[in-house]
Structure 1
Amino acid sequence: MQSTKLLSIAPSVPVWVDTEQLIFDRKFYDGMLQYIEAWEGSIRCVIRTSNKQLPAFGTITKSREELPFEIMLIEKDGKVESQHLAGSQVVLASGDNFNGLHISRICKNLGIKCVYSIEYIPETRYQIIEMEGNGYIRTLRKKLYIWQGEHKRKSAFKYADGLQANGAAAYNEYKLFPNCHLYFDTRINKDILISDDQLKQRFKNLEDRKTLHLAFSGRLIKMKGADHLVELAKKLTTKGVDYKMTIYGAGDQESSMKAQIQNLALEKNVCLAGAVDFYSELIPDIKANVDLYVVLHRQSDPSCTYLETLSCGIPIVGYANKAFLGLLERADIGWAKPISDITGIADIVESLSINKDKLMAKSKNAIEFARLHDFETTFKARIKHLSDLLN
């Protein structure tokens, strides 16, 4: 017999409303389905609407009647109120969203257990502002807003019954708060993980050819280090490394990257593949063809790229941001150099093009770690963290 326990989820992502249709972020919607499957009770989604432009990909459209969970829509500038949470036993709210930092106090007043999920650390928020290039005074004001917001965030966390920290950077930042649970975000199910046979075949291909296959995927923006990829390719070419780099994604750096590739005559080595479907194109392609991922993220946010790359048995070379360093502390799955040390990254790639055994050893470490953190396992652990509050 199903329990009547109600879990209410107040995410940071919005929903888009198109007449009678609701358009969700696909990753968020898949997560909701996991909550429904694992939670012994019912699920309510308390979510803001958005009138911003829809993402180019990664969405799913549903009618209200199709939803397997209760939904409450809040206007884009509205706030979660007591009536939205009434009847809940547990609330899981986004701790990254400034507009939700009052939720733990509402829950305390209503006798509801409250857990915040958190991804970004203050350093990352400051980095984002600095990258915007808004001028000294405006940047200072925004940093002050972040500083004040962080005080509110920590105050809200004191009223909460627990935290769920996405990635090592957030966990290390907030682990002193009671009942802090570490998880690594991913979209990879068990059945998508690279198999032993697939990995053996890729190793055979690596041994049979001289060319080292590199890849990057994600938004082509400065914060993700996209502007350093072509510079890295230039250094590898100068060193005489036999390589091919495939860059998946789209963003504001794409046109300048394309021009750089042409100006440096790197077309034979570097391919801008554009934005591709995650499940049907990206994952099958990198599983079969990529030896090493290049992740030059300047910031320490818990990008899905890390775990999803490891799930394909691909090690990572990247900048030593706090998210990647925290991952390396837990698993020997790659190599790090200080942020903006493109020469250091190029040196590592050059070394691996000669020492392929090192590459294959860390590929095995990658999939071993990923098997412990697939989508289903991660969600079950998060659900248990929530349900334990009621025991």
Structure 2
Amino acid sequence: MQSQTLVVTPSVPMAQVGNRTFLDIKAVEGLKQYAALWPGRVRCLMRQGDRTQIAFGDFYDPADLPFDLMSIGDHLQDSPGAFDDAAVVLAAGDSHLDLAMPYVTTAPTVFVIEYTLDTRLRILRLDHGLSIQTAKSSAWLLLRERDRRRAFSKAAGLQANGTPAFDSYHALTNAPMRYFDTRMPRAQHVTAAEVEAKVVQVLAGRPLRLAYSGRLAKMKGADHLVPIAAALSRSGTPFTLDIYGDGPLRGEIAASVDRAGLQDSVRVHGPVPFDAMLVPRMKESVDLFVCCHRQGDPSCTYIETMSCGVPIVGYDNAAFKGITALGNVGLSVPTDHIVALATAITKLSNDRAQLADMIRAAARVSRDHSFEGVFRQRIDHLRTIAQV
């Protein structure tokens, strides 16, 4: 009988806290979707880590999960039996620990990849600047990139999250696919009535309701949020800016709001529950998302924001270029050009008809990339490779 087990090795670890298992919430939701769609068993292989390595996690009882959870070590060859009944293995191409996968199992391997070498090097420079440590780490990344490309060339397929990863690696395999990751199910997508209610607000000429959500860190460009707001204020553009999230820059951002005298227009909320608070607020009271991401990783932020009927104005990193190619869903400016980003916002404030068109386009384009739809495409891709 042909094996029908899907083996998945996420890049995130698991953590044991006493007799309880702490897992990444996003990973669990994705694995649940695999289990619902795959015609057989799903086995998840995770390495042990520390709870602090899991930014958004929760405690789970493995017995209650619809997939098998198995702890493995760093070396794949030390996990006998993990792949014996695999129809296909979905491995983390971003983790150098999984690059040996095509060499340790006869089952077809499909790698998932999100980060390009350019993005890895950019993040390294943003985190550590020009230093000896940066040089050493860059050399290590270059060696791992050689290993990565070799592994991909031996794999049966590739699932690339976002346009930059697809463009960088799709030629290495005969079965590549591109997808845009999101955790927004169809039921949460903005409705046509909600879109039109937002359009009415925009066309009424009221101050633009801007928002940012995500990690408040330099590589996300969070240090530019208040300077952008200050530039808007100087230009006389009426606006409010709500900032949601947490990170190392949160305190400095709040302090800079006070120093700039922007307390009446800029509000720093901290992290809020995604489903219960952030999504409803985005759908009801946000006209435009300010995205200062410097790096080109395929953030879920793009599609999830559009799913709320919110277009994006942001820096033209490689990932956002791939998003704007999908339709009239946003405006991009050169990275780190604060005044240019503020000018783009002012342009839309003065052209409300264009902004209304972008709101409708964001909602329309995102419907093709729902949580369920993306996972159905990915499972279909795996089934074709596994021939099950």
For the criterion TM > 0.5, the same-fold answer is yes
Paired with 1:390 and 1:9, the residues of 2 have a C-alpha distance of: 14
The answer for the alignment partner of 1:138 in structure 2 is: 133
Per the alignment, in what secondary structure is the counterpart of residue 128 of structure 1?
Answer: helix
Percent sequence identity is 35
The answer for the alignment partner of 1:186 in structure 2 is: 182
Q: 2:124 aligns with which of 120, 129, 138?
A: 129
Is 1:16 the counterpart of 2:15? The answer is yes
The answer for the alignment partner of 2:67 in structure 1 is: 69
Look up the equivalent residue of 1:217 and give its one-letter code. Answer: S
Q: 1:202 aligns with which of 174, 198, 205?
A: 198
Asked whether the 8 Å contact 1:82–1:106 carries over to 2, the reply is no
Structure 1 pair 188–112 and aligned structure 2 pair: CA distance change class (3 A): same
Measured after TM superposition, the shift of residue 308 of structure 1 is: 0.2
Q: 2:83 aligns with which of 68, 71, 85?
A: 85
Paired with 2:76 and 2:20, the residues of 1 have a C-alpha distance of: 22
Look up the equivalent residue of 2:58 and give its one-letter code. Answer: I
Measured after TM superposition, the shift of residue 332 of structure 1 is: 2.0
Which consecutive unaligned segments of at least 5 residues does structure 2 have?
none
Which consecutive unaligned segments of at least 5 residues does structure 1 have?
none
Asked whether the 8 Å contact 1:221–1:251 carries over to 2, the reply is yes
Paired with 2:165 and 2:53, the residues of 1 have a C-alpha distance of: 28
The answer for the alignment partner of 2:337 in structure 1 is: 341
Paired with 1:319 and 1:94, the residues of 2 have a C-alpha distance of: 28
Q: 1:266 aligns with which of 259, 262, 270?
A: 262
Range with greater deviation from structure 2 (65-74 or 235-244)? 65-74
Structure 1 pair 153–54 and aligned structure 2 pair: CA distance change class (3 A): closer
Per the alignment, in what secondary structure is the counterpart of residue 219 of structure 1?
Answer: coil
Asked whether the 8 Å contact 1:8–1:88 carries over to 2, the reply is yes
The answer for the alignment partner of 1:28 in structure 2 is: 27
Per the alignment, in what secondary structure is the counterpart of residue 250 of structure 1?
Answer: coil
Paired with 2:95 and 2:222, the residues of 1 have a C-alpha distance of: 26
Asked whether the 8 Å contact 2:231–2:339 carries over to 1, the reply is yes
- Measured on the aligned residues, the alpha-carbon RMSD in Å equals 1.5
Per the alignment, in what secondary structure is the counterpart of residue 48 of structure 2?
Answer: strand
Query: Number of residue pairs matched?
Result: 385
Measured after TM superposition, the shift of residue 19 of structure 1 is: 2.4
Asked whether the 8 Å contact 1:315–1:363 carries over to 2, the reply is yes
Structure 1 pair 134–313 and aligned structure 2 pair: CA distance change class (3 A): closer
Asked whether the 8 Å contact 1:193–1:371 carries over to 2, the reply is yes
**Partner deviation per Cα, 1:141-196 (whole Å, 9 max, x = no partner):** 11110111100000000110000000011111112122110000000000000000
Structure 1 pair 125–80 and aligned structure 2 pair: CA distance change class (3 A): farther
**TM-score of the superposed pair, with normalisation by structure 1:** 0.95
**Partner deviation per Cα, 1:303-342 (whole Å, 9 max, x = no partner):** 0000000101111000000000112122221100010011
Paired with 1:55 and 1:91, the residues of 2 have a C-alpha distance of: 23
Per the alignment, in what secondary structure is the counterpart of residue 53 of structure 1?
Answer: helix
Paired with 1:35 and 1:64, the residues of 2 have a C-alpha distance of: 16
Paired with 1:139 and 1:254, the residues of 2 have a C-alpha distance of: 25
Look up the equivalent residue of 1:133 and give its one-letter code. Answer: H
Q: Which runs of 4+ in 1 moved over 6 A?
A: none
Look up the equivalent residue of 2:8 and give its one-letter code. Answer: I
Paired with 1:128 and 1:335, the residues of 2 have a C-alpha distance of: 23
The answer for the alignment partner of 1:38 in structure 2 is: 37
Look up the equivalent residue of 1:183 and give its one-letter code. Answer: Y
Asked whether the 8 Å contact 1:21–1:61 carries over to 2, the reply is yes
**Partner deviation per Cα, 1:10-36 (whole Å, 9 max, x = no partner):** 010111212222121111101111101
Paired with 1:223 and 1:119, the residues of 2 have a C-alpha distance of: 16
The answer for the alignment partner of 1:118 in structure 2 is: 113
The answer for the alignment partner of 1:173 in structure 2 is: 168
**TM-score of the superposed pair, with normalisation by structure 2:** 0.96
Asked whether the 8 Å contact 1:318–1:335 carries over to 2, the reply is yes
The answer for the alignment partner of 1:98 in structure 2 is: 96
The answer for the alignment partner of 1:226 in structure 2 is: 222
Measured after TM superposition, the shift of residue 85 of structure 1 is: 1.6
The answer for the alignment partner of 2:314 in structure 1 is: 318
Q: 1:238 aligns with which of 234, 237, 240?
A: 234
Paired with 2:279 and 2:367, the residues of 1 have a C-alpha distance of: 16
The answer for the alignment partner of 1:285 in structure 2 is: 281
Paired with 1:133 and 1:73, the residues of 2 have a C-alpha distance of: 32
